């Protein structure tokens, strides 16, 4: 795996649920602002499902290099954007820094990280921003988790698709900060975890 300082950012309900039917089943502007603040100016990696879930007018997420991973060879993340495959190498005529690229190779987290690594500029960080499939592969190699606890229990009885954040694993993470605020519909707790390194 590429040596990169990777963070994950996610919002979960009381049961660790992150999404239903391709969307997020709550609307908490304070959490959206928090997400914006934390990731602003950095690199965000997401699965194609999450990209699809972002309304067109809001994507690519501004002021962040958006990296979308897909297994589809001919997927075009955004028709009006300079999107290019990571393995297209240099395009001297193109912009130095397109704000969206897509990765369409099999072991895509590795390639997405390699792409992020190549484009990383000073003081930038790399975040995996979802969804469930991407969190599953990113969590084991992440060093930091920004986890928002939304104090609700989503009713999943009518949902066709339900997505959860993976188990973080006991004793693997150190809670380094926690802040609770009143959100629009529920209490929100912003937690930050750092990985605990098991020394050699």
Ligand X SMILES: NC(=O)c1ccc[n+]([C@@H]2O[C@H](COP(=O)([O-])OP(=O)(O)OC[C@H]3O[C@@H](n4cnc5c(N)ncnc54)[C@H](OP(=O)(O)O)[C@@H]3O)[C@@H](O)[C@H]2O)c1
Out of 70, 128, 146, 188, name the contact with ligand X by CB under 6 A. 70
3-state secondary structure of 38: helix
Of 56-64, 77-85, 128-136, 171-179, the window that binds ligand X (rule: CB under 6 A) is 128-136
Binding mask 149-168 for ligand X (x = CB under 6 A): --------------x-----
- With H, G, I as helix, E, B as strand and everything else as coil, classify residue 10: strand
Q: Binding to ligand X by residue 183, rule CB under 6 A?
A: no
Q: Is 130 in the site for ligand X (CB under 6 A)?
A: yes
Rounded Cα distance between 14 and 21, Å, is 18
Pinpoint the alpha helices (H) of 46-145: 48-53, 108-119, 132-138
CA 120 remoteness from chain centre:
16
| Shortest distance in whole angstroms from residue 98 CB to ligand X | 19
Q: How distant, in Å, are the alpha carbons of 44, 136, 177, 195 from that of 141?
A: 15, 10, 21, 10
Residue 37 within binding range of ligand X, rule CB under 6 A: no
Residue with smaller CB distance to ligand X, 19 or 183: 19
CB of 131 to ligand X, least distance (A): 2
Cβ partners under 8 Å of residue 119, min gap 6: 43, 65, 97
133 binds ligand X (CB under 6 A): yes
Minimum distance of ligand X from residue 27's CB (angstroms): 12
- Residue closer to ligand X, measured from CB, 23 or 41: 23
Q: Do residues 45 and 60 lie in contact, with contact meaning Cβ atoms separated by under 8 Å?
A: no
Distances (CA, A) of 62 to 37, 48, 58, 94: 12, 17, 8, 19
Q: How far is the CB of 97 from ligand X (least distance, A)?
A: 23
- Is 66 a binding residue for ligand X by CB under 6 A? The answer is no
**Interface residues toward ligand X, by CB under 6 A:** 10-11, 18-19, 22-24, 46-50, 53, 69-72, 75, 106, 108-109, 129-134, 137, 163
């Amino acid at each position: 795996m590429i040596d990169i300082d990777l963070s994950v950012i996610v919002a979960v309900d009381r049961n660790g649920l992150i999404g239903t039917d391709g969307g997020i089943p709550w609307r908490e502007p304070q959490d959206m602002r928090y997400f914006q603040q934390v990731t602003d100016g950095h690199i965000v990696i997401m699965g194609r499902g999450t990209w699809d879930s972002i309304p067109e007018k809001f994507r690519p997420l501004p002021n962040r290099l958006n990296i979308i991973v897909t297994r589809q060879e001919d997927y075009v993340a955004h028709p009006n954007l300079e999107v290019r495959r990571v393995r297209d190498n240099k395009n001297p005529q193109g912009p130095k820094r397109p704000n969206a690229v897509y990765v369409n190779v099999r072991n895509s987290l590795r390639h997405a990280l390699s792409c992020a690594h190549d484009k990383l500029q000073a003081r930038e960080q790399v975040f995996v921003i979802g969804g469930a499939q991407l969190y599953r592969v990113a969590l084991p190699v992440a060093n930091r988790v920004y986890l928002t606890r939304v104090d609700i229990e989503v009713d999943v009885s009518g949902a066709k698709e339900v997505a959860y954040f993976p188990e973080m694993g006991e004793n693997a993470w150190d809670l380094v900060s926690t802040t609770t605020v009143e959100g629009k519909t529920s209490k929100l707790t912003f937690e930050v975890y750092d990985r605990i390194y098991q020394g050699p």
